[in-house]
Chain A
Amino acid sequence: MIGCAAAAASGGCSDLTHTSWFRGRFREMSDAEKKDVIADLEKQHSERFAKAVTVGAEPPLEGVEFGYALDISRCIGCRRCVYACVEENNQSRDPQVHWIRVLELDKDKGIDLAHANPYYDAEKVPRDGHFYLPVACQQCQNPPCVKSCPVGATWTEADGIVVIDYDWCIGCRCCMSACPYGARHINLMEPHIPAEELNPKTHYLGNRPRMKGVVEKCTFCIQRVRNGRYPACVEVCPVGARKFGNLLDPSSEVRYVIEHKRVFVLRSELNTRPRFIYFYGL
């Protein structure tokens, strides 16, 4: 396991319990095994970052399937979501990892992903003649990334979140090439997060600190949404373009969007069936 190899290099694995060394896949582990593994992780991370880090393992909520809706007639491309996500989900600052990529598109061309520009720089946004399309994991109902993983390190949870067990990921990047949205990112180098910026409230399948050589992506802020909270990007969006809720609840915000607005999904021709939809609020 790359994770353990990395930990061993930094002297961390010597303290691991028997369970951590000989554990199975996270989704096949008993509660007792999970408890041991999580205790090990909390100890490692707390020592490394010199602060109390918690690693949660909250299971999916009953009767919940998460959905997300983004209003592209409101998004102004300010990238507040990108950096709120980095802070909340402990993405590496150096080398830089961003789970959300905001694309700038020409209004004249419409959704022309081949000519989208994620590197736009401007004094103020929105720029005339452009619109903006933030893209992160689409949490597909038919996810090509999951099918392509040779070791079963990524799967769909009962609440619809596609997750990764970083300790089982071998870093082969098959999932990255399978994803048509560019939503998966690999830590090719040792990730660096300043200790004072680390978000200590983590989830095993979400924002716990990752090691070199594993793939990561948006989890709808699994550590927040399984505790009832909105994802960080929803709360930070200054124009209120981001909506989140339970697809199975007829009174939820996402259901209202689906039932009352013009909606679309990205690259519908691929039959990935995203749980992330875009809509026109105007």
Chain B
Amino acid sequence: MKILTPVIVALGLGLNGCGYDAHDGPSWPGVVPAVVQDPDAKVQVPPPPFTEGQFPCSDCHEAGLPVNTTRRVLKTAHEDIVLRHDEQHRWCLDCHDEKDRDKLHLASGETLEFTESYRLCGQCHGDKYRDWRAGVHGRRSGNWNGDKTYLLCVHCHYSHAPAFQPLEPKPAPNAPRGDLR
């Protein structure tokens, strides 16, 4: 599968409020279309969502901040992030790279861009990764027989607390009333 390297844009995570435009295709607040860099690409992936003002991480982390590799609950920064993702066994630097702060890393030590975060997720969630690559896990749009857009895992699952959040349902249909005009 060919994955593009999209331009990284600071975005809020807002998929749950997805809208739909019947005439121009889907529109999701907080997600912009991928930048097409390869005209032959059959699959596009929108840029990953970032909390506004957080990326690039190196803006703060490489300005003389020493790396504290002690496993701990963060109290001086990022305290708004509450980890609900195997928090008994995981912490920040299991996924974020301690040397290159703008990248993630795999268990093997290989670093990767945020645009390839699905490879990181796939280390533990291999069955979902396999289904996602086949187009069966997750959401696709575009053409069933041609160009299409995938979403990254993190577009639907907030990486620090990935359980899918309940949604407000659309209105129930009218029950039959028996008073047809």
Chain A interface (Cβ within 8 Å of chain B)? 64, 71, 76-80, 82-84, 87-88, 95-96, 98, 101, 118-126, 188-189, 199-201, 225, 228-230, 232, 234-240, 243-246, 249, 252-253, 256-257, 260-261, 281
A196 to B145: give the CA distance in the assembly, Å.
Answer: 31
Q: What is the interface of chain A mostly: helix, strand, loop, or mixed? A: loop
Residue of A nearest to B18 (CB): A238
Q: A84-B20, A118-B173 are in contact. Are A240 and B138 (CB under 8 A)?
A: yes
Q: In the complex, are the beta carbons of A256 and B18 less than 8 A apart?
A: no
Q: In the complex, are the beta carbons of A87 and B20 less than 8 A apart?
A: yes
The minimal Cβ–Cβ distance linking A21 to chain B, given in whole angstroms, is 31
Residues of B within 8 A of A119 (CB): 172-173, 175
Among B3-11, B22-30, B42-50, the stretch that binds chain A is B22-30
Q: A120-B172, A235-B25, A240-B140 are in contact. Are A228 and B146 (CB under 8 A)?
A: yes
Could you show 15 A-B contacts with beta carbons less than 8 Å apart? Answer: A76-B164, A77-B169, A80-B170, A82-B170, A121-B171, A121-B172, A125-B168, A188-B180, A189-B180, A232-B20, A235-B141, A240-B138, A240-B151, A243-B135, A256-B134
The interface size bin for chain B is: 35 or more
Q: In the complex, are the beta carbons of A281 and B136 less than 8 A apart?
A: yes
Q: In the complex, are the beta carbons of B144 and A101 less than 8 A apart?
A: no
Q: In the complex, are the beta carbons of A78 and B167 less than 8 A apart?
A: yes
Residues of B within 8 A of A225 (CB): 144
Residues of B within 8 A of A87 (CB): 20, 22
Q: Which of B150-176 contact A (CB under 8 A)?
A: 151, 156, 164, 166-175
How many A-B residue contacts, CB cutoff 8 Å? 127
Q: In the complex, are the beta carbons of B143 and A96 less than 8 A apart?
A: no
Q: What is the interface of chain B mostly: helix, strand, loop, or mixed? A: loop
Chain B interface (Cβ within 8 Å of chain A)? 15-16, 18, 20, 22-23, 25-26, 131, 134-146, 148, 151, 156, 164, 166-175, 180-181
The minimal Cβ–Cβ distance linking A98 to chain B, given in whole angstroms, is 5
Residues of A within 8 A of B135 (CB): 243, 253, 256
Q: In the complex, are the beta carbons of B18 and A80 less than 8 A apart?
A: yes
Q: In the complex, are the beta carbons of B170 and A78 less than 8 A apart?
A: yes
Q: In the complex, are the beta carbons of A78 and B169 less than 8 A apart?
A: yes
Residue of B nearest to A227 (CB): B143
Q: In the complex, are the beta carbons of B173 and A230 less than 8 A apart?
A: no
Q: Which of A82, A188, A229, A239 has the largest number of chain B CB atoms within 10 A?
A: A229
Residues of A within 8 A of B140 (CB): 230, 234-235, 240, 253
Q: In the complex, are the beta carbons of A228 and B144 less than 8 A apart?
A: yes
A38 to B146: give the CA distance in the assembly, Å.
Answer: 28
